[in-house]
Each structure stands twice: as C-alpha cells, then as structure tokens.
Chains A and B, each alone.
Chain A
Amino acid sequence: MMELVEVTKVYQQGRRSVQAVQGVSLRIDTGEFVSIMGPSGSGKSTLLHLLGALDTPTSGRALFQGQDLQAMTDRKRSLLRRNCIGFVFQFFNLLPTLTAVENVALPLLLGGERRSLATKRACESLERVGMAHRKDHFPEEMSGGEMQRVAVARALVTNPEAVLCDEPTGNLDSATSREILTLLSELPEPGKRSVVMVTHDPTAAQYGTRLVRVSDGRLDSDEPISSHSPVSRERLAVPH
C-alpha cells in the first residue's frame, strides 16, 4: 500500500548537494510493522518523510495506496496526512498551548469535524493508550512517556492506514520504551493498517515484523524478523 520506486532525494546546500537517499525501492503492505535501522545520517528520516508525504522525491516515484504523491497538489497531500497517515516523532509531538485531548483532536478539528464529536473520538483514542485520566493536562505537565502516548493517540484518532514513527522511543527509558513499543506493535492489521518505525535501538527493532537496514542512502538488507529470534517480543514485553 506504500511504495517507493527507485527513489532519490538530493538536498541542495548552497553549492554542495547531499544525496540523502539513492535509488531506493521499498514496498510496505498492510499488516506489516517495518523497522528501519541504520547509522546516523544514513537517510532513515528522509525515507520516512518520503513515505509519509511530508516531502517529495527528487527522482523516482512515491506511492500511497497506488496514488503518486508527486502528482498530488499540496492540499491533497495535506488531506492524505490528515486522514490516512499518523505520525509519531522523537520530540515535540504536541502543541504546547493545547491540552492532551485538544492535541489528539487536532487532525479532526482541522478536517472541520464538530467540536463535540472530535472531543469524543479523541477521548476514545486516549483511552486506548491509557491516557484518558490526563486528557485535560497540558504537554508541559506530562512526562516524556506520557507525551509519546498522547502522540500515539493522535496518530490513531483518524483511524489511519499508516502510522509512521521516527525514533519514538529515542529519549525514553527502557521500561517506558517497552510500553510504547507494545502499543505500536498492536496497531498493524492485515488489510487495514501498517506501521513503519525508524529506530537506533536493536531491541526496539525486534518489535517489528520486518527489518530494513539503510546505510549511505541505500538499502542494505530487507528481511522478515522471525518470532523465534533470540530477542523475541514475548520476552521483551512487559505484562500489563
């Protein structure tokens, strides 16, 4: 459902140009949980941005549900992000002036949803991540893990086809990381939703069903993660 075909991304920095992604082809289907790993500066985030219609490739094609992202207007891409894609970033996921529930309701409000309805759906989403009791708190009153949960709730509120995460556990302790990762690992549904996660952490990567390794803007390897691998999900998961 998401596909990159021979995609290249070149950043122009003055006279210097940086090849962030070089001829990458990648296909992600529903029900998959893809972990992307690679050294710093290898182009992971860039890849994620291209998949999520945050950026357009310099050459090649990026497709979402068979539609060419580059052929879309900016407005179309915005609507796509609003309705079909959820994002979770490493820091700064929430608007500081809005409460948790307002932050979660933001995509719905941007879509012109009625206030009461948007709030209701946002509360349901918060409940799903176990944050219903903090719904009227502002981001600055929450811990990093709580903020990430709220971010996940927001990513889910529109019931999207794809959830894209860029180092969602990058600055969390391992216990909190496990909670978030478990949350994420429950999201993929065949025929409905896929999850893509960029991470530096090999343990976190094991939560996926497939591992893509990137270096220097190229795909190094792309293999399924066997559930019998030494660090299996069952062993990592905390009971809750």
Chain B
Amino acid sequence: MFGIFRSLSVRYLCQHWDRALLIVFSIALGVGTLVSTRILTNYLDAGLQDTIAPLRIGDFTISNGEIGVRLELLRELREPPIEGIETLSPLLLDRVELPWLNPNITLHSARRKAVLIGVELEYSDLRTNLQGQAREGVRWELFPDFWKRLLLYPTQPKVLIGRAIYEDMQAKGLATDKPFPIRFAQQTTEVIALGVIDIDEGPAATLGRNVLGIELETATKVVGRPGQIDRIDVKLAPGADRATVIAALQRRLGNRAEVVTPEDEAKANDDLVGGLKLGFLACSFGAIVIGLFLVYNALSVSVAERRHDIGVMRSLGATRWQIGWLFTAEALSLGFAGALLGIPLGHWLADFALNLVKEEIQDVMFGDLQTATRLQGRSVLAALAVGMATALFAALVPAMQAAADEPADAVRRAPSSAGRWARLLHRLCCLVLIFGGIALVAFRHDLPHRIGSYGGMVCFLTGNLLAMPLYVAWMARLLQPLARNFLGVEARLAADNLLRSPGRTGVVIGALAAGVALMVQIAGVGRSNQEPVEDWLERGITADLFVLGGSLAGSTSSVDPMSSDIATQLKALTLDGNSDGPKAVETVVGLRFYRPKFRETIVFLIALDAQAYYEATMARASQPLAHLEAYTRLREPHTVLISDNFAYKHRVQVGDVLTIPGRAGTIDLKIVGLIQDYSWNKGTLVMDRKEYARLFEDDLVDSYHVFLRNDSHKPQAKAIVESAMSRQALFVQDREALRQYIAGVIRRIYQLAYMQQVIVGIVAALGVVTALLISVLQRRRELGLLRAVGATQGQVLKSVLAEAMLMGIIGTILGIAIGLPMEWYVLRIVLYEESGFFFEMLIPWREALSISLIAVITAALAGLVPAIHAVRLRIAEAIAYE
C-alpha cells in the first residue's frame, strides 16, 4: 500500500510541488485564523474574568458587582454558620501606587503600580512558621528578622510584598526593612514588609508577582473605605448540596448582596462580549470554509489529472478501496503539513492583533495576561485535527469520484458520470442554506438569543458562497456578449474560458466576493457609526482638560480613582498664586463610573456633577445635545437619566423605577429623562455624583473634566493646572490628546477587523493563483495552438491577465452586491438588537471604490504568476500529442 502511495502520490506531489504548496498554504491560513481567533477569545475571557471577578477562589461568590459589600456581612454569615459551607474568604483588591519606586514622576510617564490584596491573615500562623504554602499556589516566606520589624514598627500596617516588588527594591538599592509608602486615591500610608509572596499558579497567577498582601481590615483602611470589601468567596463543604446552600445563603443575605455562581458570571460575560466572540467565530469559520473550497478545487484537479493513471492502476488490479485510500492519505498528509504551518501562523496573527489593543486592555486589568495568549496542548491537537479534517473533507468527493470511475472510462478518458448527482446535490444545498438562513432571521424572536440573527447570517452567506459558481456562470454569460463585441480577442478568450469552468473559478470569485463584501460592510458600518459618535463626543464633552489617576485608556474604568478633594484644589488655583487672585479654573465636573448589574446585564452608570456639567456645557457648546436640559432634573433625590439604547434594550421609559445593587443593599432610582449616549452598548445610566456618593457610599472620582477660564489667559491656566496635578502624581490630558486617543482606539479596532479581511483577501488571491494556474495547465494545448497561429507572448499574457481581472471584477460586483445588504443587516438588526444604538445607514462610496480597485489589482497581480507560466510555454511541447 505504501508502495503505490510513494510511486503515485509522492511523485506527483514532488512534480507539482507548487500546487501542493498552495494547498498547504490554504489550509495553513484557515487553521491560522482559527488558532488566532481561539487565542483572542481566550484572552477576552481571561480579561473579563480578571476585571469582573479577579482571583476567584471557591465555588461561588457573594458580591454586589463592582461596588462591593460590607465587612460586617461576613460576621453575620459566620455566626451562626450556614450548613454546607466550608470556608468564607473575604477579599479586597485595588490598584495602589508605589511612589517610592518611581521618584522622578513626569506628567506622562507610567507609574509603578501594584495590586493590593486584602485577605484574612492568621498572624499566629505566620509567627510559628517562617515559610509556608497558602492555598491556590500562593507561597510565602517571612524575613528572618520579621519579629524585629514587628517590634520596631507596631503601628504601621504589615504587608507581604510580591517577589517582583522585592527584586525591584533591591535593584534600586532601597531598604526593605524600613517602612515605605503606598498611595491610593491621594491617600498615602506607610507600611512595613514582613516577607515575600510568590504566586506562580492558580487564579492569582494572572496578577503576576506584582502584589502586596495585607490583612483585610487594615486594607479597607488603606484604601479609604473602612469596613467595606469587594466580595466574599464561598467554598462548599464536601458533599454539600449546592442549590440548598445557595438558597440558604441568599435568604440570610436578603437584598444586601447577591450569590454569584460561575454560571452567572459566564452569562454576564457572554452578554457583554458574546456578540464579538460570535463575530470572531464566524470569521474563522468563513476562512476555513473558503480554505476548504480551495483545497477541494486543487484536489479535484489533481484527481482529474490522474484519472488516466488511476484507470491504468485499476486495470492492473488495484481495488476501489486502495484508490480511495490513496487520495485520502494524500489529503491527510497535506492537511497535516498545513495545520503544522497554521499553528505558528495563528500565534503570530494573534500577537499582531493583541499588540494593537494591548494598551487599552492592560490598563484596565489588574493582571498580566501573557499566559492567555498561548495555545495549550489540547487546543494544538484540535487545530491539527481541524486542518486534517478540512483536507479530508475536501478530498472526500474527488477521492470517491476517483474510486467510483470505471477503469475502462478512465483509460478512454470518457466523461465521468458522477457529475449530475453532484450538481443536483449542490443546488439543493445552496437552496436549503439560503432559505434556512432567511427563515432563521425571520423567526429570530422565537429562537434562543443570537441564534437567529447570527446563525441566519452565517447560513445565508455560506449558501451564497456555495452558490457562487452558479452566479459566476450567470454573470459571465451576461458579460460574454460585452466582451465579444467590444473587447479585443484576448478578453474575449478570457471571458469564454471563465464561462467554460464556472465551478473552478466560482469558488475563487466567491472568496474574492466574500472579502470585498466583508470590507464594504465594515467600512459602511464604520462610516455610519463614526459620524454620529464623533458628533456626540464633540458636543457632549466640551471640557478643556481631563485630570486622571491613570492613563486615558483607563479613563472610563474605575481602577485608578482619585479623591474628591481634588475638585476643591482645582477650583482654588489662581493665575498669580495668591489665594484671592484671578481663578485659573471656571468649572470642575467630577465623574465616577460604576458597572452595576441590571436584570442580568452589566450596564454602565456615570455619576457626575450634573448642575456644573449642564451649565458649563450649555456655555461652551455651540450646539448642545438635544436632551441636555434633562440634567437639571437630577437635582431630585433618587433620580436617574437613561440613554436611548438603555430604554430600547431594557424596555423602560421615563417614570419607571430601576433597581440596582448598592453596597448595603439594592437601591431604587426613578427615571426622569432620556439622553443620547454611546458609552456602553448595554445602556448607560447617569446620575448626580453627590446623590451617588450618598446612596452608594462612594465618594471617589475617576476623572475630572476641567473647564479653564475662557480668555487670553487660558494657556497660562492650563500650565498651572498641569503643574498642580503633577505634584499630586495625577495625569492631565487636553482635548486634542483625548481626540487622538479616541481616534486611535477606533483605528485599532478597525485594523483588527480589517486584519481578518486581509486574510480572506490573501486566501482569495491564493485562490486566483491556483484557479488560473490550473486553467493554464489544462489549456496548455490551447495556448500552444494560439501561439502557433500567431499570438504573441504579449497577447497570451494579456489573455490570462484579462481572465484574472474579469474574476476580480465579477468578484467585486458580487461582493458589493452582498456587502451593502450585509451592512444594513449588521447595522439595523445585529447591532441594533445587540446594543440598541440606532444609526442611519450611510453608503461608503469612497471606501467601496478603493476596495474595488484593490480587489481588481490583487486579482490581476495574482494572475501574474500563471500568466508568466503561460508565456514561458514552449509551443512545440505544448502542441505535442500525448
């Protein structure tokens, strides 16, 4: 068996190494996309896990989302104990600054931060053992002189420092046995290190070793909210019934906090990024499908080319099974090679993509997510399996055809009879997929969430992709008279040739059309979004300067909060430095962000100084947003404004009362107005910051919008604010920086999206190369004849290039014809149902034009390889009879 494999397959592949390479590349690209999307999804999951519930230990948690719970709740839960619970582990997590590690702060330099972990520490434990192993891969080791430190610094909080911090201190020559300051929201505390912790594995490992371990109650004081912690993790006793324990716990908690299971978390995560992940999945699925067709294409040609050999072998006594096995083995080995190449390619693509968004993600997360960007053993095997399965699947039909052929037919080169059934089956598949897709969309409201809208789109598009050969045949038939009557003989021959084998070229044109359609769709959705969002930002955010605890990337998160005193300091700043001099700042608006859960969905709450915001924006904006006066209604207690998309998503209206979790229990808020806001795709709530501070017991601020005095002294005022804030180790950004940052984020998001299209484009270009190469090989005789009757090399080149361009043009036309309805669908159905944002559909004319040009040029360039091949043809050999 291996004998014939070697003599028939290996020899053939060696002779046609270029074709083998194309198959391998197609598979590699498909597998590569799959691997990279898998990595990106992992990253997304890990990132969300990290932001929503970092360091989870145990079976479920008790929390109020971001806002936290009271420490006294812990005592109540322990006394009397609830049956079935083994441990309750309270936890506090916050990012603190280590000012002594970055003494030379400039306005924009990054700051050394660490994660403060407040946990219950048993000091008696520490005293008896110098080192030990806490749970979940956390090891600690006390300094030999720790007792001396305890005696010398009795009042300072005691901490265990992460290995990375310890090494940093030693490298900088800082004493580790003296108290050092840590800072949170402008509040500085001196602490003393007792030992070093290493976190190498378990959930805490994502935090790296850049941590400070501290006793819980002390921690709550360090971060300025005594008695308030982030959450309590619950571990079940062995054999306890989960549902019973959860019910008992929830009864004891009342509405003061919620029991959150990993399933709840997964659901919330999915709600947040499920659409994005599905988009990723659909894209990689598309790449695999296109790869599959290309491989099918190439393999069926290779089978067709060897039909005669197969006939000879069959007449010499080879069985059907042997022939079938031969082609299966061939496909498997090509698939294996492709998958092997695809895995590193996928890693590279994922790295590339992550580098585009790393800054944004890293800045709002506690940990370091490097570990999530590598595929682990099982996924590698899965990728290999997918690659080989793709090749196998693609080889199925050609191998069966080869095996089914009667030897006599094959030797005589009579047409194979297997074709008609295959054609019928093909048409049936297309119809089922297209109409199935439409049905899914039509009945999406009766189907599980997202199944209808996403599944329908995928079905519809796959069906159209499959039907591409038919469309191409129609299009070519339409274009043929045009080419016949108006173009030169070269284009005429190209059009004929295209029409002759729509099956071969259809797939490739389909790939091209898919690439063009996706690009047009993205450009269109982008354009339709961009204008309203930019307009909203321009008219809604009118401050001159923005004061932040961290970088702009973290400016809408709550990881680097500031004290609310900063506003007073800013307002007191004067141009001349005297306390009664002319003021540098007109108005300061403080903002605090909170992401509460509302009806199982994470929504976005902005607490701002409503009156100040209203007045300043009214004065500054030439055309303030329509609903600005709604902010004045926030003076009433327990009131909230909601964004349009919140109203749509959650089916609420002005006058309704919303309930969201607060620190000590749920809080009711009455809707008093609607506003336009694009901050959060699940809906935004706006309330007055004073009211928020009172109701949610949280007086910190995440960002200050500073309105400078609006006269000739503005630059001077700006410098004064900057220097004052830099002394507080805070960041100051101006409008220009904000605008550039937002533009950058948008650009990077689109780069990420376009990257996937570029892959589809490369696959399509490879397809053009294969299809035309095969066409040129199959038409050797014809091309030879053409040359014999006097066609010059230039004319042959032109003819093959014309065919490539024709493929490009048809692909572009079909692509735009599919892309624009897709844009409408994504904008008006998918995006609208996902986020409630309503955008007018704008047609991206300019982008569509450049995309078309790129597609046609790509096709022409891809045609160059086969064209040169055709030109190099030796006439005498080409027309020689076999």
Give Cα A98 to B492, complex, Å: 10
Report A-chain residues with C-beta under 8 Å of the C-beta of B500. 96-97
Note all chain A residues with C-beta closer than 8 A to B790.
78-83, 107, 110-111
Q: 16 pairs across A/B with beta carbons < 8 Å?
A: A49-B875, A54-B876, A74-B793, A75-B794, A78-B790, A79-B792, A80-B790, A81-B790, A82-B791, A87-B788, A89-B785, A93-B785, A96-B500, A97-B493, A97-B497, A110-B795
The minimal Cβ–Cβ distance linking B352 to chain A, given in whole angstroms, is 44
Q: Is B789 among interface residues, defined by CB-CB distance under 8 A?
A: yes
Q: A203 CA to B824 CA in the complex, in Å?
A: 75
From 758 to 804 in chain B, residues with beta carbon under 8 angstroms from any chain A beta carbon are: 781-782, 785-795
Instruction: Give Cα distance in the complex from A98 to B782, angstroms.
Output: 12
Q: Which residues of A contact B788 (CB under 8 A)?
A: 52, 54, 81, 87, 89
Identify A95's interface contact among B488, B786, B874, B876, CB under 8 A. Answer: B786
- Contacts A45-B880, A78-B787 given; indicate if A54 touches B875 (C-beta within 8 A): yes
Tell me if B489 and A78 are in contact (CB < 8 A). no
In the complex, A109 has a CB within 8 A of chain B: yes
Name B789's contact: one of A45, A90, A91, A154 (CB within 8 Å).
Answer: A154
Q: Nearest chain-A residue to B480 (Cβ)?
A: A97
Classify the interface of chain B: helix, strand, loop or mixed: helix
Question: Nearest A residue to B882 by beta-carbon distance?
Answer: A91
> Is B421 in the interface zone, CB < 8 Å from A?
no
Residues of the B chain whose Cβ atoms lie less than 8 Å from the Cβ of A46: 876
Known contacts A49-B876, A90-B881; A95/B785 CB under 8 A: yes
Contacts of B488 in A (CB 8 A): 109
Judge if A106 is at the interface, Cβ distance under 8 Å. yes
**B→A interface (CB under 8 Å):** 485, 488-489, 493, 496-497, 499-500, 781-782, 785-795, 874-876, 879-881
Majority-rule SS of A interface residues: helix
Q: How far is the CA of A115 from the CA of B500 in the complex (A)?
A: 23
Chain B residues with Cβ under 8 A from A97's Cβ?
Answer: 493, 496-497, 499-500
For A74, what are the chain B residues with a Cβ–Cβ distance below 8 Å? 792-793
Which residue, of B786, B787, B789, has the highest number of chain A Cβ atoms within 10 A? B789
CB-defined contacts of B489 to chain A, threshold 8 Å: 106, 109-110
A55 touches B793 (CB 8 A): no
**Given A54-B875, A92-B781, CB of A110 within 8 Å of CB of B789:** yes
Query: Which residues from chain A contact B875 at a C-beta distance below 8 Å?
Result: 49, 54-55
Q: How many whole Å from A106's CB to the nearest CB in chain B? A: 6
- Chain A CB count within 10 A is highest, among B485, B489, B874, for B489
Chain A residue, CB-CB nearest to B497: A97
Considering the chains assembled together, what is the distance between the CA atoms of A30 and B8 in angstroms?
51
Residues of A near B493 (CB, < 8 A) are 95, 97
Q: How far is the CB of A84 from chain B (nearest CB, A)?
A: 9
Tell me, in angstroms, the Cα distance from A52 to B790 when the chains sit together.
11
Scan residues 42-92 of chain A and give those whose CB is less than 8 A from a CB of chain B. Answer: 45-46, 49, 52, 54-55, 74-75, 78-83, 87, 89-92
- Apart from A81-B789, A97-B499: 15 A-B pairs, beta carbons within 8 A: A45-B876, A49-B875, A55-B876, A75-B793, A80-B790, A81-B787, A87-B789, A95-B782, A96-B500, A97-B493, A97-B497, A106-B789, A109-B488, A110-B791, A110-B792
B781 partner residues in chain A, CB cutoff 8 A: 92
A118 to B499 Cα, complex, angstroms: 24
Q: Which residue of A lies closest to B490 (CB)?
A: A110
B879 / chain A contacts, CB cutoff of 8 Å: 54, 89, 92
Q: Indicate the member of A74, A75, A97 with the most B CB atoms within 10 Å.
A: A97
Cα A111 to Cα B792 in complex, Å, equals 10
**Nearest chain B CB to A148 CB, angstrom units:** 14
List A residues 95-124 near B (Cβ within 8 Å).
Answer: 95-98, 106-107, 109-111, 115
CB of B491 to closest CB in A, whole Å = 11
| Min distance, Cβ A172 to any Cβ of chain B, angstroms | 15
> By the criterion CB–CB under 8 Å, are B792 and A78 in contact?
yes
A98 touches B496 (CB 8 A): yes
Which chain B residues lie closer than 8 Å to A98 at the CB level?
A: 496
A104 to B875, CA, bound (A): 20
Nearest A residue to B878, CB-CB = A54
When distances are taken between beta carbons in the complex, the residues of chain B under 8 Å from A78 are: 787, 790-793
Separation in Å of the A124 CB from the closest CB of chain B? 18
Report how far A81 CA is from B790 CA in the complex, Å. Answer: 5
Give, as a whole number of angstroms, the nearest-CB distance from B463 to chain A. 30
A71 to B782, CA, bound (A): 27
| Nearest CB of chain B from residue A196's CB, rounded to whole Å | 14
A224, chain B: closest CB distance, angstroms:
29
A residues less than 8 Å from B874 (CB atoms): 55
Chain B residues contacting A49 (CB-CB under 8 Å) are 875-876
Q: Which residues of B contact A87 (CB under 8 A)?
A: 788-789
Tell me the smallest distance from the CB of A129 to a CB of chain B, in Å. Answer: 16
Q: Which residues of A contact B789 (CB under 8 A)?
A: 81-82, 87, 106-107, 110, 154
Per CB-CB distance, the 4 closest pairs between chain A and chain B, nearest first, are: A82-B790, A97-B496, A109-B489, A78-B792
Q: How far is the CA of A106 from the CA of B794 in the complex (A)?
A: 16
Q: Which of B497, B781, B791, B876 has the most chain A CB atoms closer than 10 A to its own CB?
A: B876
- Which of chain A's residues have a CB closer than 8 A to the CB of B793? 74-75, 78
A97 to B786, CA, bound (A): 13
Q: Which of A75, A79, A81, A111 is packed against the most chain B CB atoms within 10 Å? A: A81
**From residue B140, how far is it (CB to closest CB) to chain A in Å?**
73
Q: How far is the CB of A24 from chain B (nearest CB, A)?
A: 16
Minimum CB–CB distance from A42 to chain B (whole Å) comes to 15
Q: Which residue of B lies closest to A155 (CB)?
A: B789
Question: CA A78 – CA B789 in complex, angstroms?
Answer: 8
Contacts of B499 in A (CB 8 A): 97
- Tell me which residues from 136 to 166 in chain A have a Cβ below 8 Å from any Cβ of chain B: 154
Cα of A117 to Cα of B372 in the assembled complex, Å: 71
Beta-carbon contact of B876 and A75 below 8 Å: no
- Shortest C-beta distance, B550 to chain A (Å), equals 67
CB B145 to nearest CB in A, in angstroms, measures 82
Measured CB to CB, the nearest residue on chain A to B871 is A74
Chain B residues whose C-beta falls within 8 Å of the C-beta of A115 in the assembled complex:
485
Please, which residue of chain A has its CB at the minimum distance from the CB of B792?
A78
Chain B residue at minimum C-beta to C-beta distance from A48: B876
Nearest CB in chain B: distance from A204 CB, A:
18
Complex Cα distance, B879 from A54, in Å, reads: 10
Residue of B485, B787, B792 with most partner-chain A CB within 10 A: B792
Collect the chain B residues with CB atoms within 8 Å of residue A91's CB.
Answer: 881
* Residue of B with least CB distance to A157: B789
Q: Which residues of A contact B785 (CB under 8 A)?
A: 89, 92-93, 95
- A169 and B690 CA atoms in complex are apart in Å by 103
Contact A75 B786 (CB under 8 A): no
For A82, list chain B residues within 8 Å (CB). Answer: 789-791
Cα distance, A92 to B878, chains bound together (Å)? 12
Residues of B within 8 A of A90 (CB): 881
Shortest A232–chain B CB gap in Å is 31
- Say how far B150's CB is from chain A's closest CB, in angstroms: 87
- Expressed in whole angstroms, the Cα–Cα distance for A167 and B489 within the complex equals 29
| Cα-based distance from A55 to B785 in the complex (angstroms) | 13
In the assembly, what is the distance between CA of A107 and CA of B786, in Å? 9
How far, in whole Å, are A116 and B789 apart by their CA atoms in the complex? 20
Cβ-closest chain A residue relative to B795: A110
Interface string of A182-196 (1 = CB under 8 A from B): 000000000000000
A55 to B878, CA, bound (A): 11
User: What distance in Å separates the Cβ of B633 from its nearest Cβ neighbour in chain A?
Assistant: 75
The complex places the Cα of A115 from the Cα of B487 at a distance, in Å, of: 11
Query: CA of A23 to CA of B793 in the docked complex: distance in angstroms?
Result: 30
For A91, give the chain B residue with the smallest CB separation: B881
Q: With A and B bound together, what is the CA distance between A95 and B787 in angstroms?
A: 12
Which single residue of chain B is at the shortest CB-CB distance from A56?
A: B876
Q: Please indicate the chain B residues that have their CB under 8 angstroms from the CB of A107 in the complex.
A: 789-790
Chain A window 17-54, contacts with chain B (Cβ cutoff 8 Å), 1 for yes, 0 for no: 00000000000000000000000000001100100101
Which residues of the other chain, A, contact B795 by a CB distance below 8 angstroms? 110
Interchain nearest-CB distance for B877 vs A (Å): 9
A238 to B876 Cα, complex, angstroms: 34
Q: What residues of chain A lie closer than 8 Å to B876, measured between beta carbons?
A: 45-46, 49, 54-55
